[in-house]
Structure 1
Amino acid sequence: MNSSYKIGSIMGIPIKVHITFLFVLPIFALVFATNPQPYGFADIGSAAMTYGLSLLTTILLFVCVLLHELGHSYIAKGYGVEIKDITLMLLGGVSSMEEIPREPSQEFKMAFAGPLVSLIIGFGLLGLNMLANSYVPSYSNTWFSLMIGILAYINIILGIFNLIPAFPMDGGRILRSMFAKRMSYVRATHYAASVGKMFAFLMALVGVVSNLWLLLIAFFVYMGASEEDKSTTVTVSLEKYKVADVMSKDVISVEPEMTVEELSHFMFENKHLGYPVIKGNSLKGIVTFTDIRNVLPHERYAVVVSDVMTKDVVTLPSSASAAEAFKVMAINNIGRILVVDDGNVTGILSRTDLMRSLMLLNE
């Protein structure tokens, strides 16, 4: 099931909405609708107007989040980084980038661009309200003034929050770029992640005695710092090697006419959960255990591999770096990649192969 849906494109970047965004949208609207001024519209008028303004404010808030992400993307594109898409989801927006620039000054500018956009929007809207109040006395009592004020303060908070020097916030990347001017990229990431974990620990302590939401944020920050540290270490370590160095050359394939029942036995015998589907010398697709597990037992004799296989196959040449393979797997959320040279399948590389190679390299 597709969990994200494209709603348009800006600067050639696909803009998607994650299914979680559809859940959080009414929740945010409800928060605005049940809080009085200056935090919401509970006492602004009729119920229809209250909920209408609350929904509109929520949508505009996520437009601001989108602009925040576009700030990152604009600078990144200027440095030649490919932006796969921007997805609006439960906790805000995420720009899916081909690669974070390793040049400290480039990463600094790219990371700072998002919070800067949020702060410009926030202080710009705040200034607009102050200016309007100066020339139109009755303006301060309007719903428009209230909406602009809410959006202004949330954007300012968003900008400041993202400057906290902890992954996965932008401040963590800013801190890493500063460390990277004096040490290796991996070491800079490790130090920046350590600072982030310290912030998470302090937030958790404060959360225990004051606000349980801080505990959730602390967990989010701690996990983000740990994942960034681990991911960077793995990527840099694998950059020294080619796909050909770590792939499995003994490729076991299946034919598209094989039934799902036969394939399930085949998987059990060969101890692999994914296989390329090849007819003659032509690659037709790839089939995994995930593709067949939803086929009902009594249907497995009639359903064949070609009915359930994935036809849009992600491939890499054997000359690609192992780090690129790791990145492609992460971006596409897949566990294996077929290695294709000159139209022929020459190997298969799984996430397990990469992790096993990494363990051997670190011994």
Structure 2
Amino acid sequence: MKTSFQIGKIFGIPIKLHVTFLFILPVFALVFATNPAPFGFQDQATPLLNYLLSFTTTVLLFFCVLLHELGHSLVAQRYGVEIKDITLMLIGGVSSMEEIPRNPSQELKMAFAGPLVSIIIGFAIFLANFLVASLIASYAATPIYMMFNILSSINIVLGLFNLLPAFPMDGGRVLRAWYAKRMNYVQATHYAASVGKIFAFLMGIIGLFSNPWLILIAFFVYIGASEEDRSTTVTVTLEKYSVSDVMSPEVTSVSPYMNIDDLLHFMFEHKHMGYPVMEGNYLKGIVTLSDVHKVPSLERAVLQVRDIMTTTVISLTADAKASEAFKLMMSNNIGRVLVVDSTGSVVGILSRTDLMRAMMLSNEQL
């Protein structure tokens, strides 16, 4: 199931909406509609105007979140980082980057750019609202003034909140950049992630007695800090190896004309869950146990590998870094990649198991 869909591009960066955004949009609108001034529109004369203002405020708020993420992305692009897309989702916005800059100064500027954009937007709206209210006496009593006042306050709070040193929030990345000037990148990530987990624990405790949203944020911060710590450790460790160092050179393939029952027996015998599909010397695709699971039991004696295989094959060359293979597997949610030479011939196969084995052997050598 496709969980995100593109709605356009800004500066060449695809902008996507995650399905969770469609859930949070009416929730935020309801919060604004059911709260009195100065944080909502409950006191408006008509329910229709109430909900219209609430929905408009929510849309504008997420547009500001989009600008926040664009702040990160444009600075990252300046340093040569590829931005795959920006996705608006349940927890706000997420910029999908090829890789966070390892240079501490670059990461610090990139991390600080988002909160800075939010704070600038907040104060700009506040100043404009104040000037209009000074020139037009009746403006301060209008719902438009109230709407922009809410947007101003939330943007300032959002910018300052993101600067908390709770990794992987923006302030946590600023903290890692500070640590990275004084120690290696893995240690800097570990220390920043530890601080982030402490903040997540404190936010969760405060949330129990005040705001349930803090519990949700604490959960995402804790999980995000743990994942970033693990992912960085794996990536940096695997950078020491090339694909040829850790791949399996003996590639066991299957025929596209093998039926699914025979394929299952073959998988059980050879103890692997994915195989390239070869016809003679030609690569036709790749088939995995996940593909088999999609086939009803009664059809497995009739259908062939060619009926269920994936024809779009993700591959790497043998001289690529093992860390590139790890990122490729994670971004595509796959368990293995084929290794090819300059002519496109298959020379090996690399699985997550091979990468984890390299990780364990590297740790043993420390």
TM-score, with normalisation over the residues of structure 1? 0.94
Q: Secondary structure at the match of 2:334?
A: coil
Query: 1:69 — aligned with what?
Result: 69
CA offset digits 1:75-112 (Å, max 9, x no partner): 11111111111111111111111111111110001111
Aligned letter for 2:346?
Answer: V
Once the two structures are superposed, the pairs formed by residues 294-309 of structure 1 within 5 Å of their partners are 294-309=294-309
Q: Distance in 2 between matches of 1:249 and 1:147?
A: 63
After superposition, the Cα gap between the structure-2 partners of 1:22 and 1:303, relative to the gap in structure 1 and judged at 3 Å, is: farther
1:220 alignment partner, SS class: helix
Question: Matches of 1:109 and 1:51 in 2, distance apart?
Answer: 39
Structure 1 unaligned regions, length at least 5: none
Aligned length: 363
SS across alignment from 2:85: strand
Q: Is the 8 A contact 2:57 2:147 kept in 1?
A: yes
- 2:89 equivalent in structure 1: 89
Rounded Cα–Cα distance in structure 2 between residues aligned with 1:268 and 1:141:
74
Corresponding letter in the other structure for 2:207: G
* Equivalent runs, 1:92-171 vs 2, <5 Å: 92-171=92-171
Could you say which residue in structure 1 is the equivalent of 2:357? 356
Q: CA RMSD in A?
A: 1.8
Question: Partners in 1 of 2:52 and 2:291 — Cα distance?
Answer: 43
Check whether the contact 2:277–2:283 (CA below 8 A) recurs between aligned residues: yes
Secondary structure at the counterpart of residue 362 of structure 1:
helix
Rounded Cα–Cα distance in structure 2 between residues aligned with 1:252 and 1:267:
10
Closer/same/farther in 2, CA of residues 346 and 33 from structure 1, 3 Å limit: same
Structure 2: how far apart are the matches of 1:362 and 1:338? 26
- The unaligned stretches of length 5 or more in structure 2 are none
Task: Spell out, residue by residue over 1:215-252, the C-alpha distance to the aligned partner (whole angstroms, 9 max, x if none).
Answer: 33323222222222221111111111001111111212
CA contact (8 A) 2:176 2:188 kept: yes
| 2:346 corresponding residue in structure 1 | 345
Quote the Cα distance in structure 2 between the aligned partners of 1:53 and 1:256. 59
Distance 2:129 2:275 in 1: 61
Say if 2:168 and 2:193, in contact at 8 Å, map to a contact too. no
Q: Which moved more, 1:101-110 or 1:300-309?
A: 300-309
Q: Aligned residue for 2:8?
A: 8
Q: Structure 1 residues 296 and 125 mapped into 2: Cα distance closer, same or farther (>3 Å)?
A: same
Q: Is 1:256 paired with 2:236?
A: no
String of CA shifts for 1:280-328, please: whole Å, max 9, x gaps: 3222222222223222222333433333322222211110111111112
Q: CA deviation at 1:212?
A: 4.1
Quick one: structure 1 residues 31 and 272, their matched pair in 2 at CA, closer, same or farther if it must change by over 3 Å? Answer: same
Distance 1:260 1:11, change over 3 A: farther
